[in-house]
Amino acid sequence: MARVAAFLPPETRELLPMLAARNARRARRLVVTLRPSPTRRRTGAPDPLGALAATLDRLRGGRRLELLCDPGMRAWLTSAEEAVALSDESLSDVRLFDRLTRGAHLARVMPHGRIDGGFRARVSSLGAKLTERALLRLPPLLAFRTPPDKCYGPFPLDLAPDGEEGRSAGEIRFLDPAPFTMRLPAAARLELAPGGIRVRHRGRAAELTPAELISGSGIVLARRVMSTRRGLRSGPHVPEAGQRLAEALELLARAWPHGHREVLAHTWMVVPLLERGTVSFSFPDRPGVSYINLEGKTRVDLADDLLHETAHHRLHGLEEPSPLIRAGGGADEPRYWSAWRRSLRPLRGILHAAYTFAWRAELLARLGRLPCRLPRAWMVRQLDFEIASLHRAVADLEDATRRGLLTLAGDRLARAIGSRVSELSLRSHRQRG
């Protein structure tokens, strides 16, 4: 059978080893940078970093690839690196401010909207808290993966609620050996034991619940989350969510098998929302987690949303080992018009839009060829809009290449997007001609 080329390179099976190699280096650096303080070592406090180092030393083959590409591990690496950066006393206030603008903590360290006399102290305190949280969140990621001849721990855990993952207080999620949730009492400790885990606790026993999966996939379906002034808050399960999302995946599989495989490869959890006027979204620091708004959505809409957020996950993964845009930017960075946002956007926004909406355009074109009842007039209008908008974005990416703003990897990706857009445009013209 002939090999089918990736819609946009690289192939997922080529991307994952690149990610794993990069993440192994990141993890090694963090083991050294976050090593326990002398006081912690003297008290004999359990060291999850030692468990991580031993696991990296001993784990081989597919199991090692799974750990280093695990979405939870990738999220942990990002959060731990942020903690390290905020604890770096050599950084200037301007560098710290620039770092904070990329995350969700700016208001916390600048309550008055400016850098004041207490800025450094608040940043240092935040860095220490994020470091402690990173250490608490590491042991569950290593469960069932540590060397089979040693025990590690018992470790305290981060049992606080996490609205971004649809977890309530006391819950811990595991993906290995199969997705499940464990509810633990507040003082519980986790020991990484040969062949599995041991839970040490007092009072009520731990409760283990298999994760709900979207039918026909290994994608975890979380509780609904609700937007509040303080961020996302975990809510109840949405009874019809699993069926509706399964039907959307089935439609995607019929229209575009390759796109369906990419969703299964890069999305590990869907967090439902029911909020009128809210678009589906994802976060770079939550790889593989798609927040899908179900309110008023058709099968086509949901298939579109699942693929669109997967394209974001895929591109974020591509950016981890290979920066696409050259360092610099700032006030002098050129801005380009975005037809999707109807505003001027920095180059990275244009690249992300061109990449993700190219996937959407391909899906719309393929849905239009299915022999079933679908909103065809609407899909034609949407496809025309996407093709016109993509042509403009590709022209902007060509301008960025001429200015030397893209790396070699970014230039290759921009050219691949341009080729796909030209192919899609020609195919659409022939079908209507």
Per-residue pLDDT, 186: 84
Report the distance separating Cα 38 and Cα 52, nearest Å. 19
Exposure b/e, 16-51, CB count within 10 A at least 16 = b: bebbbebbeebbeebbeebebeeeeeeeeebbbbeb
Q: Average pLDDT of the chain?
A: 88
Distances (CA, A) of 301 to 62, 114, 252, 255, 363: 35, 41, 11, 14, 11
Report the distance separating Cα 247 and Cα 253, nearest Å. 10
Q: What tens digit of pLDDT does each residue of 185-205 get?
A: 888 999 999 878 999 887 777
170 dihedral zone (left: phi>0; alpha: psi -120 to 50; beta): left
* Beta-strand pair 269-273/289-293: parallel
- Dihedral sign, CA of 391, 393, 396, 400? negative
Per-residue pLDDT, 1: 31
Residue 372 has pLDDT above 80, yes or no: yes
Q: What tens digit of pLDDT does each residue of 321-334 get?
A: 778 998 765 556 78
The mean pLDDT of 143-156, rounded to a whole number, is 92
200 dihedral zone (left: phi>0; alpha: psi -120 to 50; beta): beta
Q: What tens digit of pLDDT does each residue of 340-368 get?
A: 999 999 999 999 999 999 999 999 999 99
Instruction: Count CB-CB contacts under 10 A for residue 281.
Output: 15
Residue 101: CB partners within 8 Å, gap ≥ 6?
Answer: none
Domain chopping of the chain, boundaries = 12-151, 212-322, 334-433
Q: What tens digit of pLDDT does each residue of 254-304 get?
A: 999 999 999 999 999 999 999 888 889 998 888 999 999 999 999 999 999
Per-residue pLDDT, 5: 65
- Dihedral sign, CA of 69, 70, 71, 77? negative
Q: Is 364 exposed, middle or buried (0-12, 13-18, 19+ CB in 10 A)?
A: buried
Q: What percent of the chain has pLDDT over 70?
A: 94
The mean pLDDT of 155-177, rounded to a whole number, is 88
Q: Report H helices in 236-370.
A: 241-255, 257-266, 299-319, 347-367
Contact at 8 Å (CB) between 142 and 70? no
Contact at 8 Å (CB) between 176 and 145? yes
Nearest alpha-carbon partner for 264 in 214, 300, 210: 214
Both structure tokens of 102: 């990329």
Both structure tokens of 120: 């450094």
Per-residue pLDDT, 374: 92
- Name the more confident of 157 and 111: 157
Both structure tokens of 209: 């619940």
Strand partners, 198: 191
How is 152-169 classified by DSSP, letter by letter?
EEEE----S-BGGGTBPT
Nearest alpha-carbon partner for 96 in 71, 68, 79, 115: 115
Report the distance separating Cα 198 and Cα 192, nearest Å. 7
Both structure tokens of 303: 């298939």
DSSP state at residue 325:
B
